[in-house]
Amino acid sequence: MLNLNRLLLAVAIGATLSSQAFSQDEAEPTNENFVDALLVAEADLPLQPLADQPTKLTMPGMNGSLFYVPSNPDTIKWGYLPNRSDKPLIEIPSGATITIDTVSHEGILEDQGRDPVAYFTSKGVPENMILKDAIEIPGSDIKHDFKADGPHIVTGPIAVKGAKKGDVLKVEILSITPRVPYGVISNRHGKGALPGEFPETEKPSENASADNPGDYHNVSIFTPIRKADDGSWEAIMKTDAGTDVVFPTAPFMGVMGVAADTEDAVHSVPPDIYGGNIDINDLGVGSTIYLPVLVDGANFYTGDPHMAQGDGEVALTALEHSLRPTFRLTVLKKGDAQIPSASGSLEKPFGETPTHWVPIGLDKDLDEAMKDAVRESIRFLHEELGMDRATALAYLSAATDYEVSQVVDGTKGIHGLIRKSDFKEVMENEKQQQ
């Protein structure tokens, strides 16, 4: 581990890292140790950007390479998702691995002064522990309307070579690393699971603005993280008496999606068939999301990094926290056996973890989102695992949990967790027949 930790520190500070301007060359196979080298110890935080433009990273003495995209005014959209009109930042080969330094919107929004240095230092954070890109984005001339626009910093789009409309983009989440040892959880007027009840503060005044952030009267809870005895990250809050309340973290990306097939502006808050702000906390490290390709190149993007989120995300935000995720992006051509659909394509996102399949339901009405998730579950069990539809519904009623992904994004989400272990014999029989 000592040698690995040295590599980790080297990557964090860029000491042994070299980069080259992106070219259309085929990616070399990625060495797993190289990906692991992006995981760092607590003492190595903050993880500042590795480069200021999309690039291909190599490390002397290690095989393989990966692609990298930073978050800065040239590589992000604030409050909106890419559509078919957006030019990709880079094009990478199918099966390539890419690391993206994402930036949380918390600490940079107008109700926090659009000044992360002032905001975070007021919470006791040393200035050298504040991310450079988190300072650069709100300090730029990017326009952002606090009331009309989405809050999210969305990084992309990233084209994947060979992706065509009707294909499926397989997105594997290989690693997620915190970039700083703190995050923020916010509750804003008119939003969350209890709009009109919380926050229990005055309504926003007409003078509310980035220059007068206190006049929004919103509530943001600064939440640090620390390493637990077992090496995992845990988050800390305080009671009124100052006693620690400690809860586990499970980092994941709230926004993962592909470009919508429209030239209209696509708001970052509601999820849809392209993915986007799906906020499913089960899709962390080791999981996969399958996204229907709607435009050539797929044009993947990510953002809204979360260190932890309860089902429902009831306050409005999760523990919003700048993260460094690494993905493998693979094009599954229409008809590929890996696509979880008999049609050979997908009409909506579908998730998978090492232990469960994750059918997803979306609708503005939570009851309809539940129906959508159940219908998708039945479809999957019938098409992919050979269950007749009546038996599939009976199985789901007895054996599958449905969780509220979130109730705060306009379009609400329900997702199912279908245990893979229940279908061990089915999968073994399929392997024997291949």
Select from 317, 145, 126 the least CA-distant residue to 221: 317
Rg of the chain (C-alpha set): 21
Q: Which CATH class is domain 355-433?
A: alpha beta
- Vertex 101 angle, CA 99 and 103, to 5°: 150
- 145-199: pLDDT as tens digits: 999 999 999 999 999 999 999 999 999 999 999 999 999 999 999 999 999 999 9
Percent of the chain with pLDDT over 90: 86
Look at residue 203 and give its three-state secondary structure.
coil
Decide if 104 contacts 321 (C-beta within 8 A): yes
Examine residue 199 and say whether the peptide bond preceding it is cis (omega within 30 degrees of 0): yes
Q: How far is CA 36 from CA 5, 172, 282, 284, 420, in A?
A: 10, 15, 21, 16, 27
Q: Which residues contact 415 (CB under 8 A, 6 or more apart)?
A: 280, 282, 351, 358, 359, 360, 361, 373, 402, 403, 405
Q: Which residues contact 426 (CB under 8 A, 6 or more apart)?
A: 385, 386
pTM recorded for the entire structure: 0.92
Percent of the chain with pLDDT over 70: 88
- 33-91: pLDDT as tens digits: 444 444 444 558 999 999 999 999 876 665 666 899 999 999 999 999 999 999 999 99
Topology (CATH level 3) of domain 2-332: Jelly Rolls (2.60.120)
Across 99-117, average pLDDT: 98
> Would the pLDDT of 421 be above 90?
yes
> Would the pLDDT of 226 be above 60?
yes
Rounded Cα–Cα distance for residues 319 and 341 (Å): 34
Mean pLDDT across the chain = 91
Rounded Cα–Cα distance for residues 116 and 110 (Å): 10
Which residue spans of the chain are classified as CATH 2.60.120.580?
Answer: 2-332
For residue 294 the two structure tokens come to: 């709607």
- Count of CA atoms in the C-beta half-sphere (13 A) of 108: 26
Across 20-38, average pLDDT: 42
Measured in degrees and rounded to the nearest 5, phi and psi for residue 111 equal: -75, 0
Query: What do you get for the CA distance between the two ends of the chain, in Å?
Result: 41
Whether the CA torsion 242, 246, 251, 254 is positive or negative: it is negative
pLDDT of residue 59: 67
Write the DSSP assignment of 55-84 as a string of letters.
EEEE-TTS---EEEE--STTTEEESEE-BT
- 312-339: pLDDT as tens digits: 999 999 999 999 999 999 999 999 999 9
Decide if 322 contacts 131 (C-beta within 8 A): yes
pLDDT of residue 8: 33
Q: Which helix (H) or strand (E) holds 185?
A: strand 182-187
Which residue spans of the chain are classified as CATH 3.10.28.20?
Answer: 355-433
Decide if 253 contacts 305 (C-beta within 8 A): yes
pLDDT of residue 31: 44
